[in-house]
Structure 1
Amino acid sequence: MIELFFVACLGSAPAQCEERSLVYTDLTPMACMMGAQPELAKWVDTHPRYTIARWQCRWLQTADQDA
C-alpha cells in the first residue's frame, strides 16, 4: 500500500501542525507522486483552516498500519 503522508498546519497558527495521511491500495509510487497535488487540494478544500506544509508518497509500513 502507498501512503500520501503530509503535514497540515493551521493557517492562523502555523506552528500548530498535525501529521495526516491518505492510504491507497491500488497506486504505484509514481502515480501517487503525480496525483498528490490534486488530492491535497481536495483535502484543503474540505479543511479550509489548514495549509499543507510538506508531503511525500511512501510505502505504508505494516507497523504504521496496525497502530
Structure 2
Amino acid sequence: MFIVLYACLISAPATCREEHLNFSVEVSAPTACMMSSQVAIAQWSESHPQWQVGRWKCVQADRLSRDI
C-alpha cells in the first residue's frame, strides 16, 4: 500500500509535487490505510516543513502506476 501525497511549496504554491510513501498496514484495504495513515503524513510534513500537503490518497502497490 502506498500513500500518494500531493504537496506544494509554501513559498511558491504553484510549485507542487507528488510523493509516494510506502505504507505497510496489516490489512491491505484502502479504508485501513485511510484510517491509520495520518501519522505517516504528519511525519512526512514534519520532515518537509517547506511543503504543505494539499491532498492525499491510499493506493494499492499493484495499482500505483495506473492511478497516477
> Could you say whether these structures have the same fold, taking a TM-score greater than 0.5 normalized by the shorter chain as the test?
yes
The amino acid of 2:21's aligned partner reads L
TM-score, normalised relative to structure 1: 0.78
User: When the two structures are aligned, how many residues end up with a matched partner?
Assistant: 63
Aligned partner of residue 14 in structure 1, secondary structure: coil
Farther-moved stretch of structure 1 (23-32 vs 51-60): 23-32
SS of the aligned residue for 2:37 comes to helix
Residue 50 of structure 2: aligned partner: 49
Task: Name the one with the larger strand percent.
Answer: 1
Q: Determine if contact 2:6/2:56 at 8 Å carries over to the other structure.
A: yes
Structure 1 gaps of 5+ residues are none
Q: Mind listing any 5+ residue stretches in structure 2 that lack a counterpart?
A: none
Poorly superposed stretches of 4+, deviation over 6 Å: none
Q: TM-score, normalised by structure 2?
A: 0.77
Indicate the RMSD between aligned Cα atoms, in angstroms: 1.8
Deviation readout 1:13-64 (Å, 9 max, x if unpaired):
1110001011234442222101222211110100000000110011123673
